[in-house]
Structure 1
């Protein structure tokens, strides 16, 4: 899993992050970067192909790619926390400032794409500081409670107990409708202002109403726990762990997804079926996310030569995430090429594939002469303005085999001394 980890990077995680970005880029392209539209006048066959591609891409990546991305955010926090070379309070102050810089980067990204997650991660990342000193069992229990979606369950119970209860209108729908009605007519400056105001409000309310905020915090914590348990290091114990995750999550996903899909036909009440679908959609997406995560890690142990190519993109994840927003908005929005009018899901998927390939070669070229990506370097520099990077601790080899080698060397030295 981690043949070239070293003290600062874990290749499995970089590859996984790159694969996740691949899914995000494909999904954003078929969604036209939150400007949903279908071309008019195309053939019936192409319309069917578009529909199939849309459903497959959404099934594989919607809610799963972002889930893995959030999980890796928590894992990265663990790495930084475990390598701190100063007091806990100083580290937390440094990390809080680091989140502040990330928030500004997220606001910049919102200029081009209102669905930005960086600013959201920067705000919700404070939760990691609050639980960083907790024991693992307490963090796990809190993560499970958040994954159960307590607010969505409360709304569901209200509908069940009171058939006359009507859930309040969704604020996100109100703002999304305002954004999508006028988006094609805007200039760049007008669209940027809308993204930073109405667009951002729509995304924030959507995150609240769908339970995305609770789920993101829970995934941060799961990533932290995976870091504590060294689950991305290569050893047989971890291989067995990921196999169990794959089997159990796969078995759990099937009934959850089946019930979610059938809820509309089983329950005639729209409010009840909608609430059930929302809850089970969150749970089934989490289960399928674990299937994708475990599958990738297990396949990486066998075919890391191929999958390691994703690591190049993952090492520059911040740069690539913002870059795809800038390029994608220009491709589809009215102030750019305006391809939202002509590109269906099939064409948009091809555009997304080409975009990812170009970003891959850009990353290869850049990393030949730079240690970090452009935005990664800016983030590190800005984060160190108030809180300079401390001297790092001596590196700790991340896998058990390497530790065994160190033990053998120590024994040989002792025998030689004797």
Structure 2
């Protein structure tokens, strides 16, 4: 097994990763600097600036970038599988080893740095994908759509019926005690207090929900990425522009319509759920097509070359964002937790990402791989590269 060379990389894939990292950071920043998990953001923010900043993130970024990143993750797995198969190598052993390393990164990140980790979830979904790679793209597409549509449509219907029957909507209320605990731990507490609160927050956002999140949300996205690779959607982009144009217009129109429902029909547990579950993935597909089109333009490639470089070291950039943000906002750093509004937090995220682009440019002028990517490759390929 050998790593993908610089010449073999798909530039548009790196560009998508890079822009996804910015979007993920904008969303994560809401949790980094405030007890976002325990409020109703549609009624919590009061100033016009905060309302506008949150609305932009909610309508165009939240729920729309992590599906894209998940699809890219699946695309990458499929590339590695195809190249290993072409060489006659046994891929599953390497794949399992690679997912185990990613799982290790996820455990460290989730419980020692930040509770909002997604690496652990990707690794667990990756194990499931390894057993499905031999299937045809049509079969994989059917599995992905069935896993996604059946449980999520069913749950959406139950939420709608509950709303129509006049049930209490818990999303309309702030969890006051949990909110105060978060501010006390992250803003003022010791490292032990922060660790304890991090565990509580992880259980609150994940817990048993992982058994729903992985097979019905993350796994279908990853499988769609495998399907995209098997059908050569990016490699044969110039031949399939009609498909991409259709995906862009349908995804953007339908996805944006659904994403705006909490603002047109009112925010409820039903509208917020379908906003992210159905509107987000549609926007994600449209974003993938837009980036693929723009990457085919030489000027765009040059101007945003550093974004693609950040995409090449996505693991490093992602964990670096958590390290920088927790240092800024937690008590063991600058202690700004709960003291920054949405607009300021958004500007901070953009500023940090720009610095990361500069870092990526400088790093790749000297090295072939990002620092954490180097460790991941070494442990996966069991060799120095």
TM-score band by shorter chain is: 0.7 to 0.9
Gaps of 5+ in 1: 38-44, 266-272, 390-418
Find the residue that maps to 1:125 and give its secondary structure: helix
Q: Does 2:187 match 1:192? A: no
Gaps of 5+ in 2: 38-44
Asked if the contact 1:246–1:294 (Cα under 8 Å) also holds between the matched residues in 2, the reply is: yes
Asked if the contact 2:114–2:322 (Cα under 8 Å) also holds between the matched residues in 1, the reply is: yes
Asked if the contact 2:75–2:222 (Cα under 8 Å) also holds between the matched residues in 1, the reply is: yes
Aligned-residue offset at 1:307? 2.9
Task: Choose the corresponding residue for 2:329, options 322, 328, 332.
Answer: 332
Aligned-residue offset at 1:158? 8.2
Residue of structure 2 equivalent to 1:9? 9
Residue of structure 1 equivalent to 2:346? 349
Residue of structure 2 equivalent to 1:278? 273
Residue of structure 1 equivalent to 2:312? 315
Classify 1:207/1:370 alpha carbon distance in 2 versus 1 (closer, same or farther; 3 Å): farther
Deviates more, 1:174-183 or 1:76-85: 174-183
Classify 1:174/1:122 alpha carbon distance in 2 versus 1 (closer, same or farther; 3 Å): farther
Classify 1:319/1:214 alpha carbon distance in 2 versus 1 (closer, same or farther; 3 Å): same
Residue of structure 1 equivalent to 2:242? 240
Deviates more, 1:303-312 or 1:359-368: 303-312
Q: Which has the larger radius of gyration?
A: 1
Asked if the contact 2:14–2:309 (Cα under 8 Å) also holds between the matched residues in 1, the reply is: yes
Residue of structure 2 equivalent to 1:226? 228
1:366-405 mapped onto 2 (5 Å cutoff):
366-385=363-382
Find the residue that maps to 1:116 and give its secondary structure: coil
Residue of structure 2 equivalent to 1:252? 254
Find the residue that maps to 1:31 and give its secondary structure: helix
Classify 1:12/1:191 alpha carbon distance in 2 versus 1 (closer, same or farther; 3 Å): same
2 CA distance for matches of 1:186 and 1:335? 8
TM-score (norm 2): 0.83
Task: List per-residue Cα deviations over 1:333-382 (Å, max 9, x = no partner).
Answer: 22221223432122212211221111111111111111101100011112
Deviates more, 1:354-363 or 1:227-236: 227-236
Residue of structure 2 equivalent to 1:60? 60
Find the residue that maps to 1:285 and give its secondary structure: helix
Classify 1:313/1:354 alpha carbon distance in 2 versus 1 (closer, same or farther; 3 Å): same
Asked if the contact 2:18–2:311 (Cα under 8 Å) also holds between the matched residues in 1, the reply is: yes
Residue of structure 2 equivalent to 1:145? 146
Task: List per-residue Cα deviations over 1:206-257 (Å, max 9, x = no partner).
Answer: 8559857522111101111111122122543232221110112133225534
1 CA distance for matches of 2:211 and 2:55? 23
Asked if the contact 1:176–1:202 (Cα under 8 Å) also holds between the matched residues in 2, the reply is: no
Aligned-residue offset at 1:192? 3.1
Task: List per-residue Cα deviations over 1:8-42 (Å, max 9, x = no partner).
Answer: 311111111011111122222243356439xxxxx
TM-score (norm 1): 0.77
> How many residues are treated as equivalent by the alignment?
367
Classify 1:115/1:152 alpha carbon distance in 2 versus 1 (closer, same or farther; 3 Å): farther
Aligned-residue offset at 1:205? 3.7
